[in-house]
Amino acid sequence: MDSNQCVVKGFSAGAVEAGIKKKGGTDLALIFADRPCAAAGVFTTNRVKAAPVLVSMERIGRGTARAVLANSGNANACTGASGPSAARKAGEAAASALGIDPEEILLASTGVIGAPLDASRIEQAMPSLVGALRSDGLMDAARAIMTTDSFPKISVFEGESGGHSYRIAGIAKGAGMIMPQMATMLCFVISDIHISSRNLQKALVEATGSTFNRITVDGDTSTNDTVIALASGAAGNADLDRAGLEVFGTGLTAVLNELARMVVKDGEGATKTVHVEIRGAVSAEQAERAARTVANSSLVKTAFYGQDPNWGRILAALGRSGIDMNPDLVDIRIDSVEIVSRGMTRGEEAEAAGAERMKNPEFSVVVDLHIGPFSDRMLTCDLTHDYVSINADYRT
């Protein structure tokens, strides 16, 4: 994506190498608004929360902010009293360099858990970081927050309100510890639309519910999961009416959905993106539980990697999910190929056809329970040798 496509009125962004990552590379990103913005945030539901999450959760309640400061290479989690202290020192350094109140800065970190964050490195890098701010610098920020990601993730939506055009741009990073349960995943969204913080928060919660809360790479929920949205109002539109809010919500969801798909596609070691859909459940809660259980099953995910339509693993995952079901009623399809009908195999020919579909980099698994009207879906990936290698070597 061309960097000019990521320009959002009222914002600048930049990144530098602060020496936080062991292996080097840019690891400190800053997004800055030239005016106070409506601010919204959704954070990890993990009871073990990183210091920057706690600080940002406290500050987001004000409803306004002007900057997001994020580092990669260190999660600043499980570090005792030094964690919040380091987070606040980093924020204070940014505030001083930008000439704003520290309370206007939201913080995020990603990387190794349990290692103290050396805030002095961030303090020393701050003049260079502020000097690196550019209106077209969002891609640089996207690269700086990467850890095990193989590519930067960015998405843009353009809309109109009352004759005023506006833009929504988002960046995100994965690529492991991904089952956000939003609320290691970070996502920052900026827009020049004029919108109240209350409406922005409502739209963000709704959008994350149908996007980031419906993906899983490995079933782990990070201590640092953070989605932050800032809206500068520089587009100059009037207050949004119901129709305008719906259009904005649709655009925000589209941005987050594309980012969520990128996160799964770039899951650690992943070679397959798989849409898991459950139909015919007795309740919405049970449909979600069934979809989540199948999508998180290590045995199912290794079968995806092996291009093996091992439907017995899918049926077993459903059986342990705790949902109401009659195994004699279950149908299972790989894309349009039915491999199980009423709990029984459709035979070797059907399974061979299903295996052919699984050779594609993206395919769907559709399960129909046939006992109710509710459905749900999850986006997942396969589980590969590389996933084990990446995580076995993560701290070395």
- The residues annotated as belonging to the active site are 184
- For residue 279, what are the β-bridge partners? 368
User: What is the C-alpha separation between 365 and 261, in angstroms, rounded?
Assistant: 16
- Measured between its terminal Cα atoms, the distance across the chain in Å is 33
What span, in angstroms and rounded, lies between the C-alpha atoms of 107 and 94? 10
Residue with tokens 């827009």: 191
Rounded Cα gap, residues 358 and 367, in angstroms: 16
Listing DSSP states for 81-96 in one string gives THHHHHHHHHHHHHHH
- Distances, alpha carbon 55 to alpha carbons 69, 104, 235, 263, 353, in Å: 12, 11, 29, 25, 52
- Max CA separation in the chain (angstroms): 69
Rounded to an integer, what is the distance from CA 21 to the centroid of its chain? 21
SS3 170: strand
